Amino acid sequence: MSGFVSFVGSGPGDPELLTLKAVDRLSHADAVLYDDLSSGPILEFAQKDADLVSVGKRAGRASPRQDHVSKLLVDYAKQGGRIVRLKSGDGGIFGRLEEELVALHAEGIAFEIIPGVPSACAAAAEAGIPLTRRMTARRLQFITGHDVAGRLPEDLNLPALADAQATTVVYMGRRTFADLAEMLLAAGLPDDTPALVATGVTTPDQSLDRSTVAKLMSTFRAEEPSRAPTLIFYGALADG
């Protein structure tokens, strides 16, 4: 009989942001397949004899292919027992959750999804800002800064993204934001639109840097590519 898989959102990195249900599943798991950003102190909640398997992906680093991760998850589940697939942030937000669900569905393997604190929400809290505000930021949008090939997606909705009265959060966009910013300014976004760069949120390496979209475009054009996990906010609330 196949085992049971718990997809557990680990939040942005601070183990104190784990939910009680996440800690329970980790403490009873026979195997934990974890992302890079879900490692470290978070894994201390796992059983001492649990198999701990790194399957994480990081920009600019050699990473396991998604089909290999999905197959490994299925293989562990077929051995029986309780399996945790530990994903950073919330697995349903740019976490490649769907591919792994499809693989489990195809094999008839039961699962549950336990949400985690989204990285964008944690970053906003660390910066002391809300994500919405009456009259000036009634809409919140999350986008990914790269496609499957690591490039800026070609099907962006620029009118929506150039709306200065929305709060926009760009995941995985440090390498491509300069190109995106150039397109946004051409589409009418004011160049002094406030921006916030959040790196290593809730970890000892956290940094929160305030800027504007135009200044950020210039900064990212000039810098060496960074592998640090980064979120970029811009719009009505990025200035606090």
Buried b (16+ CB within 10 A) or exposed e, 111-144: bebbbbbbbbbbbbbebebebeeeeebeebebbe
In the sheet that 230-235 helps form, which strands lie side by side, from edge to edge? 139-144, 166-171, 230-235, 194-199, 207-212
User: Rounded CA gap, 72 and 76, in Å?
Assistant: 6
CB 201 within 8 A of CB 117: no
Torsion of CA 145, 55, 115, 231, to 10 degrees: -30
CB 3 within 8 A of CB 77: yes
Given the residues 14, 35, 90, 163, select the one marked as catalytic.
Answer: 35
User: Rounded CA gap, 150 and 11, in Å?
Assistant: 24
Q: Where are the domains of the chain?
A: 4-114, 119-235
* Both tokens assigned to 89: 């942030």
Q: Tell me if residue 105 falls in helix, strand or coil.
A: helix
Residue 35 a catalytic site member: yes
pLDDT at 135: 82
Instruction: Note down pLDDT in tens along the chain; length 240 residues.
Output: 689 999 999 999 999 999 999 999 999 999 999 998 888 899 999 999 999 999 976 555 556 788 999 999 999 999 999 999 999 999 999 999 999 999 999 999 999 999 999 999 999 999 999 999 888 888 999 999 988 778 899 899 999 999 988 999 999 999 999 999 999 999 999 999 999 999 999 999 999 999 999 999 999 999 876 778 899 999 987 666
* Amino acid identity at 175: R
* Both tokens assigned to 171: 């995941």
User: Rounded CA gap, 233 and 120, in Å?
Assistant: 9
pLDDT at 59: 52
- Domain 4-114 in this protein, CATH class: alpha beta
Q: Tell me if residue 156 falls in helix, strand or coil.
A: coil
Closest CA to 124 of 210, 205, 204: 210
Give burial (CB, 10 Å; 0-12/13-18/19+) of 239: middle
pLDDT at 36: 87
Closest CA to 90 of 29, 8, 168: 8
* Amino acid identity at 236: A
Q: What is the CATH number of domain 119-235?
A: 3.30.950.10
Given the residues 21, 57, 71, 215, select the one marked as catalytic.
Answer: 57
In the sheet that 4-9 helps form, which strands lie side by side, from edge to edge? 51-54, 31-34, 82-87, 4-9, 111-114
